[in-house]
Structure 1
Amino acid sequence: MHLKIWEAIIYGIFGGIAELLPISFSGHAVLLRNAFHMSSLTDGGGYFVRAAICIGVSLAIYLSFPMETKRMLRMFGRRRVRPSQRPNRLQRRSFMLGCIAFFITLFSLFFLAAAERIERLLYVIVFFAVNAGILYLCCRGRVGKKDEKTVTLGDMVLIGIMRMLSVFPGMSALGSSVAIGRARGISLQYNVRIAYMLTLAYQAVVFVFYLIRGFAFGSFSTGIILPCLFALIFSAVFGYFAIQYFRYLLQRVKLKVFVFYCLEVAALAAILALINA
């Protein structure tokens, strides 16, 4: 069963916003399915729409962080660029530590499919509450000063572990990354850059993951092309503005707005569960 165009647009909007803010796209997808009986992203053509959202999210990150993205890509092909463009020692160190966090995050692929099939609103309520708790506990106090020179292996390992555990509906890998970085004393700008570069790399991997599942368990036809295109465009546009909004809030240290938002969504999910009971 293929998603309708209006469903793809709604998923694209929420995908762009919730993937790039610390508020969990998978959790919102469960709420949308329960509230409006929308088609699933984990069946049939839904896998391809989900893959299209990955492209849109990646495009939004690239447009928001073009220099950082190009630098990360040059790390993989540093032998094929001019010497003047090659990264310096600190950049290579930062890249290697980021790779460690990224590879730890990839362990989430072993249980990602099972996590995304969680449909019970009770679990979603719990995970949204946990996400709110992580943001609240880790985002208190002063902003740290750690940067490429002083960030440690332990910092990146903790970030990787938290991102790995944040694939359940209601939890946000981006939120966990920023929150742990803040708690470990990483500076604001470097923390944001790490979080979004790890998100970009992970989106590239799960894009392939969803394509494989789409061809293996779904069915591809020309009818899914248009919904995928709309999902890609809307996720890219809304994702770009979501990043700008997040940067604006971070400059003013107002992350608690996401704590309240997650608690409100958890309360809304509880009401929805009572209605559907």
Structure 2
Amino acid sequence: MEIWEAILLGIVQGITEFLPVSSDGHLVIVQNLLGMTEPMLTFDIFIHLGTLAAVFIYFRKLLLHYITGLFDVSRRAESLKLVAMVVVATIPAVIVGLLLKHKIEETFGSAWIAASMWLIMGVLLVWSARFSGRTGRMAKLTAMDSLLIGTAQVFALLPGISRSGTTIITGMARGLAPVEAARFSFLMAIPAIAGAAVLQLKDVDQRGLWTDPVMLSGGAAAFLVGLGAIAFLLKLLNTGNLKPFGYYCITAALVIFGVLTVNGQ
């Protein structure tokens, strides 16, 4: 892989990890267009670590608030509850990911599957506009709310289904304000991305990995663009809904179907 290809894929990852349009689906499509047919596990780890760093940096004040709250008697209950809600929301994806890891990985080579899931995701995003008026706060989340949001995250293990999209939609359906649903979704991303990276790292040769310019370029691009994508989505949710992303996913899916059909793939 050339450095420019790594940067391009990092940009794609940075934008699509946080916008509700599926990073994995876009990466599968772009890799196919670049003629990359072999799995790129090591590179995938780096660009995901880049977006993980973006979450830490963007939400550093919020994270610090809850971390320091663990040591402040007056705020400890609030912090412990949020940690518990994130843990509960993470459990479904961990269980399914471990049990069906290899089956899920088999779906990542198919542009047809990615496009089909895009179409489904698009319909869900358009439908979610009915929840845009919700006003609930993260502090009011229940264990059942978190479990349902976490269950929605399971479907994002498939290429074309957006992790942020499914979790934000479910959070809104459970009463969260759009921005609050997005914040909880991004906090959920920390254990989800970190856990996946740790599991993948044990399967790769790490010699020279952390100084490889291709890997570092992709990770840096994902980090920088990811920061902008988070800010953009939160600003949009303050004033609108997810419908535009739904129309994008539906259009993209139909275009990919057409391209694949014409190319006889």
Q: Give the TM-score of the pair, scaled to structure 1.
A: 0.86
Q: Aligned residue for 1:252?
A: 239
Q: Which runs of 4+ in 1 moved over 3 A?
A: 71-75, 83-87, 219-224
User: Is 2:21–2:162's contact at 8 Å kept on the other side of the alignment?
Assistant: yes
Query: Which residues in structure 2 correspond to 1:137-216 (within 5 Å)?
Result: 137-215=127-205
Gap change, CA 1:233 and 1:27, over 3 Å in 2:
same
Q: What is the CA–CA distance in structure 2 between the aligned matches of 1:93 and 1:127, rounded to whole Å?
A: 33
Q: What is the CA–CA distance in structure 2 between the aligned matches of 1:23 and 1:229, rounded to whole Å?
A: 24
User: Is 2:132–2:177's contact at 8 Å kept on the other side of the alignment?
Assistant: no
Q: Write out per-residue CA displacement over residues 248-269 of structure 1, whole angstroms, 9 at most, x where no aligned residue.
A: 2101123111001111210121
User: Is 1:136–1:256's contact at 8 Å kept on the other side of the alignment?
Assistant: yes
Q: Write out per-residue CA displacement over residues 227-260 of structure 1, whole angstroms, 9 at most, x where no aligned residue.
A: 1100111000111111111112101123111001
Q: Aligned residue for 2:104?
A: 115
User: Is 1:105–1:161's contact at 8 Å kept on the other side of the alignment?
Assistant: yes
User: SS in structure 2 opposite 1:166?
Assistant: helix
Alignment coverage as a number of residue pairs: 262
Are 2:63 and 1:69 aligned?
yes
Q: Aligned residue for 2:80?
A: 92
Are 2:53 and 1:59 aligned?
yes
Are 2:215 and 1:228 aligned?
yes
Q: Which moved more, 1:145-154 or 1:257-266?
A: 145-154
Identity %: 21
Q: Aligned residue for 1:25?
A: 23
Q: What is the CA–CA distance in structure 2 between the aligned matches of 1:98 and 1:206, rounded to whole Å?
A: 16
Gap change, CA 1:162 and 1:17, over 3 Å in 2:
same
Q: What is the CA–CA distance in structure 1 between the aligned matches of 2:61 and 2:34, rounded to whole Å?
A: 40
Q: Write out per-residue CA displacement over residues 56-90 of structure 1, whole angstroms, 9 at most, x where no aligned residue.
A: 10111122111223345557xx4xxxx44884312
Q: Give the TM-score of the pair, scaled to structure 2.
A: 0.89
Shift of 1:49: 1.3
User: Is 1:13–1:235's contact at 8 Å kept on the other side of the alignment?
Assistant: yes
Are 2:259 and 1:272 aligned?
yes
* Residue segments in structure 2 that go unaligned for 5+ positions in a row: none
Write the letter of the residue equivalent to 2:61.
Answer: M
* Residue segments in structure 1 that go unaligned for 5+ positions in a row: none
Are 2:43 and 1:49 aligned?
yes
Write the letter of the residue equivalent to 2:260.
Answer: A
Are 2:94 and 1:106 aligned?
yes
Superposed CA RMSD in Å reads 2.3
